[in-house]
Amino acid sequence: MGFPYIGCGLGLRPTYYSDILNNSVDVDWFEIISENYMVPGGNPLAMLERVREKYPLVMHGVSLSIASTDPVNLDYLEELKSLANRIEPMWISDHLAWTGIEGVNLHDLLPIPYTQEALHHIAEKIRIVQDYLERPILIENPSTYISFKESEMDEADFLNEICEQENCSLLLDINNIYVSAFNHNFDAVTYLNKIQPANVVQMHIAGHTNYGTHIIDTHDQSVCDDVWALMEIASKRFPNASPMLERDDNFPPFIEIKSEFDKMRKTHLSARDRK
């Protein structure tokens, strides 16, 4: 596919702009939420350009709605492409999910049944998106809280098949695998072992909230021990995938998030070495 290994990344969030811009932060690259910068102008884009001067960026979207039965939103794609042309990201990613139909947006990453019909539908839409953007994209496995009776295959097989059919790659979210494995009672390591290593370009790691009966992917906590352990396994299996730490709420001081990032880097690099 030609995506390079770019080391370890951190989510760029406005609360950390001054820490990142006023200091020399030892982070290999930053990931942005694309939609936060798909605005006409002002401070978000000004900050982004300053960060871009110092670091490589990757773009991660939440509104592509690749699994929706609505047609691909070309206005959205045009804005996405325009942002990509502006900041020249290493790659662009979004989720295996839908956000709404008939023009409505629920601002959530909604699950799909893993059927052949869904696979062909999504593969076709990925083809349209990649043609429009003139670049391959990465698709991320979502956290899910329900599963459908009509599914004909598991998520790992579905993702492998999508990659094979449409020449796209994976952003494998390790926390999402853990969350979905708990919520649907499947084995997370078996899932990891089914994913074709050549397809995985990036990994996410994040915190979640465990309610005992289910886990929600909240990104508002530190990464838990089980997810660190899963990440170690993933880093051995996918040594060429660049890991990235996400945090989207309940932000700690930057020194704490940097410390967690350093732990991720150490865990990842030592697992790679031991492969």
Partner 1 sequence: MQQAILSDDEKIKPIFLQSINEPPLHSKNDAFGVYYNGYRRRLAEFLSNDYPVLRNILGDESFGHVVENYINICPSKNYNARWYSSGLVDFMRNHAPWREERVAIDVAQFEKCLADSFDAKDVECLNISALQQIDPHQWPELRFRFHPSVFLHKLAAETTTIYETHGENFLENTTIITNSEGVIFWRKNNKCLYRKVNDIEYLSLMEAFSEMKFKDICSMVSYQQNCNDIEGFMSSLLVQWFNDSLITEVVI
Q: How many CB atoms lie within 10 A of CB 243?
A: 26
In the set 35, 140, 155, 246, which binds partner 1 (CB under 8 A)?
Answer: 35
| Two tokens, residue 165 | 């059919």
In the set 53, 71, 85, 103, which binds partner 1 (CB under 8 A)?
Answer: 103
**Contact status, residue 194 vs residue 157, Cβ threshold 8 Å:** yes
Instruction: Work out how close the CB of 148 gets to partner 1 at its nearest, in angstroms, rounded to a whole number.
Output: 6
107 binds partner 1 (CB under 8 A): yes
- From CA 62, how far away is CA 94, in angstroms rounded? 6
**Contact status, residue 86 vs residue 121, Cβ threshold 8 Å:** no
In the set 8, 30, 83, 99, which binds partner 1 (CB under 8 A)?
Answer: 99
Q: Which is nearer to partner 1, 52 or 184 (CB)?
A: 184
Which of 15, 273, 3 is closest to 138 using CA atoms? Answer: 3
Instruction: Work out how close the CB of 187 gets to partner 1 at its nearest, in angstroms, rounded to a whole number.
Output: 13
**Contact status, residue 88 vs residue 128, Cβ threshold 8 Å:** no
Instruction: Work out how close the CB of 113 gets to partner 1 at its nearest, in angstroms, rounded to a whole number.
Output: 8
Instruction: Work out how close the CB of 245 gets to partner 1 at its nearest, in angstroms, rounded to a whole number.
Output: 22
In the set 104, 120, 194, 196, which binds partner 1 (CB under 8 A)?
Answer: 104
Name the 3-class secondary structure at 74.
helix
With a CB cutoff of 8 Å and minimum separation 6, the contacts of 249 are 218, 219, 220
| Two tokens, residue 53 | 């001067």
250 binds partner 1 (CB under 8 A): no
43 binds partner 1 (CB under 8 A): yes
Contact residues: partner 1, CB under 8 A? 35-36, 38-46, 63, 65, 73, 76, 99-108, 110, 145-150, 183-185, 212-214, 216
